[in-house]
Amino acid sequence: MSNNEIFGHYLEDLRRARENFLLLEQRRPPNEDFAALAHTIEITTYDTVISAADGLAQVGIPEAAQFALAYKSLLREVSVTFDDDMQGVQLGHLDESRRTNLRPAALFMLDSFLYQLTPGQAPVGVIGGGPERKPLGAFLDLVRTVHARRGEIKKVLLTDRYLFAGRSADIAVVNYADAIAFLQAVGLSRETIFSLDVTPAPRNSLPNAFTIFKNYVLKFFPYSNVGRHNTCCTFHDRLYLTLDSSGHRRGIFGPSLNGLGASDIVIMGQIEAQDLTLLSNWLAF
Is residue 148 in some structural domain?
yes
Give the residue from 73, 103, 123 where a domain finishes.
Answer: 123
Residue 130, domain member (yes or no): no
CA distance 87 to 80: 12
Could you tell me if residue 61 is inside a domain?
yes
Flag whether 38 is in a domain. Answer: yes
Are 184 and 276 in the same domain? Answer: yes
Determine what percent of the chain falls in helix, strand and coil, rounding each to the nearest 5. Answer: 50, 15, 35
15 burial level (CB within 10 Å; 0-12, 13-18, 19+): middle
Distance of CA 136 to the CA centre of its chain: 9
DSSP symbols for 155-211: EEEE--TTTTBS--SS-SS---HHHHHHHHHHT--TT--EEEEEPPPPTTBPTTHHH
Number of domains in the chain: 2
**Residue 41 domain-assigned?**
yes
- Using the 3D structure, point to which of 81, 101, 123 is the last residue of a domain: 123
Q: Quick check: is 129 in a domain? A: no
Asked if residue 225 belongs to a domain, the reply is: yes
Angstrom distance (rounded) from CA 198 to CA 106: 33
Domain contains 37: yes
Query: Does residue 152 share a domain with residue 55?
Result: no
- The predicted model scores a pTM of 0.58
What is the pLDDT, as a whole number, of residue 225? 95
Q: Where among 94, 123, 152 does a domain terminate?
A: 123
Domain containing 247 — which CATH number? 3.30.870
- Separation CA 10–CA 128 (nearest Å): 27
7 and 111, same domain (yes or no):
yes
**pLDDT per residue rounded down to tens, the chain (285 residues):** 566 677 778 888 888 888 887 777 665 555 566 666 777 777 788 888 888 888 888 888 877 888 888 887 777 665 555 554 445 555 554 455 555 667 777 777 887 777 777 654 444 456 666 655 578 888 887 888 788 666 789 999 998 877 776 554 444 455 788 899 999 989 899 999 999 998 766 555 666 788 888 899 999 999 999 998 876 667 778 899 999 888 888 889 988 887 777 777 888 888 877 788 878 877 777
Same domain, 34 and 165: no
Which domain does 111 fall in, by range?
A: 3-123
Q: Which residues pair with 217 in a beta bridge?
A: none
164 and 219 inside one domain: yes
Asked whether the bond before 29 is cis by omega within 30 degrees of 0, the reply is yes
Instruction: State the DSSP code for 46.
Output: H
